[in-house]
Structure 1
Amino acid sequence: ILVHRYSVLVLLKRIMFKLYLSHYKFSLSLIFLCLFLTGLAAQNDKIAFTNSKPVDDKRYSDIKGSPMYFKDWVTGKIIRHDALIYEDVLLNYNGYTRTFEIKTGDEMIELDGDVYLRVDVDAADNPDAIDRIPTEHFAFQKNLHSRFSDQFVIILFAENDVMLIKEFKVDIAKHTIQDVGKAIDFKDFQRKEIYYLKADGKLTSLRYKKKVILGAFDSPEVEPYIKEHKLRLKTEADLIQLAQFYSTLD
């Protein structure tokens, strides 16, 4: 009987040990699976930027001014052509290269413009950049019109088939000045902001001239509205307000 009991105990111990090993192997499998999925997620992030290239922060050290749209990095959302979205990305738009640059840690990279369709920047997330974000929701988008080819342009307002667009681009100009009998050469960035009204599928270039604006916002109700609200038509805010009103007209 004692031998039988001993055999039973040994058998029970073996069963328990096998169960322990099975549980241990299962736990290890879960750990390895988690590590694999984490690595895969990180790999997917890298895949999203595989066509991008590193940026040298001293590349413009010999040029005065800045080609960047914002004074500093802002937080935004990046949307790819395949609808994949990246939230809370530190970014800025380079008007000279016409590309977006993002910051990850201490590294800066230039995004491949062929991969990305739209970048959204909200005023609430960027209180320090409010002077460059005139509306609550601010967007850079490609493929809005053949005039812009495949370049990003800024959507200042869009509603009821009325869209106010801003094109931001930067060129480099060379200068020579005379200083105490010698010539000094230098370069600087020349920033340009061009506004357009897109309404009923038609794109019209805008200037801060009343005649041009009345020709674009083609309605007899526009001029009385301008007078009533004392719009000087000299600021971006005036154009946005006028576009908002124009979108309400039949």
Structure 2
Amino acid sequence: MLKNKFFLLLVLAAVTLNSAAQAQQYLEDKSGRPFKSGLGADLTGNPLLFDDWVKGTVELSGNKVYKDVPMNIDIMGQQVIYKGKEGEKMSFNDDVVSAAFYSVRDGAVVNRVFKKGFPKSSNTTPKDYFEVLADGQVSLLKRTWKILWEEKVYNSATLTQTILTKTAYYVYNKSNNTLTLFKPGKSAVLSELSNHKAEVETYAKNSKVNFSNDTDLSKLFIYYNSL
């Protein structure tokens, strides 16, 4: 009996080690290249979306999907990067279609999904990543981008560089494949969702929607898409 239990423990240990090795092997063997931002080291601010690596699921071209990958997004370069085996920043060789980052907040799993491939607008391209706040026939998207602000100190030859973060909201309509810049507010929401204006207005009133809050806006658009 003890012999059987010992054998079972050895099998379980082997399976666990094998699974861990496979998970690690993906990062070691994944076809990628060292990430180069092109920015100097002497600047203030972070060109990446997150301050640290965040695990998530990435979908590459050719329907390749990988889970539990420590990733981030280089917002200035508009590319998803991942953590290499030595902790270095790596770029995917294959095109990244979408990336879903997940974390635990107040005991619940929070997903943040970023996609590209949306139609061109006056100030965006299909290569730009958008955070999908609400997906449906009419999707609510949030775009985050960063700019490099350069300023010369008075009476000095020193040039300071600071990374500034900007955000904007967009509405993507699947029926006519259009992407429209959207400034959150009650009147703008009711205008965009005018074919169910009464229902949306009632929902917003009863739910005490804060039109400046991403979560509230997301729930409102999800409700609209359910009608």
Name the TM-score, length of structure 1 as normaliser: 0.67
Structure 2 counterparts to residues 25-174 of structure 1, below 5 A: 46=29, 48-49=30-31, 52-55=32-35, 59-106=39-86, 107-112=88-93, 115-122=95-102, 126-127=103-104, 130=105, 136-147=110-121, 148-159=125-136, 161-174=137-150
The C-alpha deviation readout for 1:123-153, integer Å capped at 9, x for no partner, is xxx22xx59xx98433222213233322222
Whole-Å Cα distance in 2 between the matches of residues 44 and 189 of structure 1? 30
Query: Is it true that 1:191 corresponds to 2:168 in the alignment?
Result: no
Amino-acid identity (%): 21
Larger Rg: 1
Answer whether contact 2:120 2:179 (CA < 8 A) is retained. Answer: no
Query: Is it true that 1:215 corresponds to 2:191 in the alignment?
Result: yes
Which residue number corresponds to residue 223 of structure 2? 245
2:92 alignment partner AA = L
Whole-Å Cα distance in 2 between the matches of residues 241 and 77 of structure 1? 23
Answer whether contact 1:172 1:189 (CA < 8 A) is retained. Answer: yes
The C-alpha deviation readout for 1:165-224, integer Å capped at 9, x for no partner, is 11221111112344xx65753111121222112233343321133322222222322223
Q: Which runs of 5+ in 2 are unaligned?
A: 1-20
2:131 alignment partner AA = I
Whole-Å Cα distance in 2 between the matches of residues 44 and 64 of structure 1? 30
Which residue number corresponds to residue 151 of structure 2? 175
Which residue number corresponds to residue 17 of structure 1? none
Q: Report the alpha carbon displacement of residue 85 of structure 1 after superposing the two structures with TM.
A: 1.7
Whole-Å Cα distance in 2 between the matches of residues 43 and 167 of structure 1? 30
Whole-Å Cα distance in 1 between the matches of residues 37 and 171 of structure 2? 35
Secondary structure of 1:146's match?
A: coil
Q: Report the alpha carbon displacement of residue 243 of structure 1 after superposing the two structures with TM.
A: 0.7
Secondary structure of 1:172's match?
A: strand
1:241 alignment partner AA = K
Secondary structure of 1:226's match?
A: helix
Q: Which runs of 5+ in 1 are unaligned?
A: 1-37
Answer whether contact 2:80 2:91 (CA < 8 A) is retained. Answer: yes
Secondary structure of 2:221's match?
A: helix
Instruction: Count matched residues.
Output: 197
1:108 alignment partner AA = K
Answer whether contact 2:134 2:141 (CA < 8 A) is retained. Answer: yes
Whole-Å Cα distance in 1 between the matches of residues 131 and 91 of structure 2? 19
Q: Report the alpha carbon displacement of residue 75 of structure 1 after superposing the two structures with TM.
A: 0.5
Answer whether contact 1:204 1:216 (CA < 8 A) is retained. Answer: no
Answer whether contact 2:82 2:90 (CA < 8 A) is retained. Answer: yes
1:110 alignment partner AA = S
Distance 1:232 1:177, change over 3 A: farther
Please identify which structure carries the higher helix content: 1
